[in-house]
């Protein structure tokens, strides 16, 4: 086994300072002045590579251009850079997922704790006839109230039968419950979680799993 001479430079870290927008699945552009200033060239950049210089016994934070220059001779294919970036992305995704789940369970738990208190207040408030947005056709709207929160559902062109009525009631109930989730969600402070819509949906799923999901079908 041949022993390799220790390399002078080693990549020890990578991160991206731009915030991740979960809705658009992209990076939010860096606000000038909030980035990192490259230890090698002094330019501002968002992608930060931490390079250990064993000769100097120090770690430097440099940008994409400079890291490629530093590793040009020893990692011409850029394998180490790709590995570092992948590792960073995996860690970030795991952290976000964990945060989502934490937030989801917290919100779902609070809504579930409120259900016994709010369910007795559940009622089908009215079945109104509104004029539809298309062709001025009137269609029925079902409105339910849950703890003072109103949820609504309508169906266009659906035949009036019991099954359709229940489906409408379920939708209206779901709408009201979704608003309750939203209320609780607003109290949670997870600034990193911007995939609010998906998280709300997940919280709703958890509530339905844990509470008898079909309960509202039996509601008056």
Cβ neighbour number for residue 30 with a 10 Å cutoff: 17
If one asks whether residue 72 binds Zn ion (CB under 5 A), the answer comes out as: no
Cβ neighbour number for residue 146 with a 10 Å cutoff: 24
Distance CA 195, CA 82 (A): 27
Q: Which is nearer to Zn ion, 40 or 114 (CB)?
A: 40
- Please state the closest distance from residue 67 (CB atom) to Zn ion, in A: 8
Q: Can you state the angle between helices 162-187 and 196-210, rounded to 10 degrees?
A: 120
Stretch 15-54: interaction string toward Zn ion, x if CB under 5 A: -----------------------x-xx-------------
* From 66, 111, 193, 203, residue interacting with Zn ion (rule: CB under 5 A): 66
Q: Residues 8, 12, 18, 21: is their CA dihedral positive or negative? A: positive
CA end-to-end span of the chain, whole Å? 79
Binders in 191-220 for Zn ion, by CB under 5 A: none
- Please state the closest distance from residue 40 (CB atom) to Zn ion, in A: 4
* From 51, 63, 103, 202, residue interacting with Zn ion (rule: CB under 5 A): 63
Q: Which is nearer to Zn ion, 63 or 178 (CB)?
A: 63
Q: How many residues bind Zn ion (CB under 5 A)?
A: 5
Cβ neighbour number for residue 169 with a 10 Å cutoff: 20
- Which residues contribute to the site for Zn ion (CB under 5 A)? 38, 40-41, 63, 66
């Amino acid at each position: 086994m041949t022993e390799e001479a220790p390399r002078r430079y080693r990549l020890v870290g990578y991160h991206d300072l731009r915030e991740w927008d979960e809705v658009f699945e992209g990076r939010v552009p860096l606000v000038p002045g909030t980035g990192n200033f490259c230890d090698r060239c002094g330019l501002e950049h968002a992608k930060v590579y931490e390079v250990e210089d064993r000769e100097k016994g120090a770690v430097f934070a440099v940008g994409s251009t400079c890291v490629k220059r530093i590793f040009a001779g020893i990692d011409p294919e850029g394998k180490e850079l790709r590995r570092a970036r992948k590792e960073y992305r995996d860690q970030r995704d795991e952290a976000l997922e964990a945060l989502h789940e934490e937030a989801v369970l917290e919100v779902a738990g609070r809504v579930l704790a409120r259900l016994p208190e709010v369910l007795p207040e559940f009622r089908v408030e009215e079945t109104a006839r509104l004029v539809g947005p298309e062709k001025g056709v009137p269609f029925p709207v079902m409105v339910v109230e849950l703890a003072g929160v109103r949820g609504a559902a309508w169906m266009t062109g659906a035949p009036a039968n019991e099954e359709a009525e229940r489906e409408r009631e379920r939708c209206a109930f779901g709408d009201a419950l979704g608003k309750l989730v939203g209320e609780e969600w607003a109290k949670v402070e997870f600034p990193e979680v911007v995939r609010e819509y998906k998280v709300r949906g997940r919280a709703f799923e958890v509530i339905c799993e844990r509470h008898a999901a079909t309960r509202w079908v039996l509601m008056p």
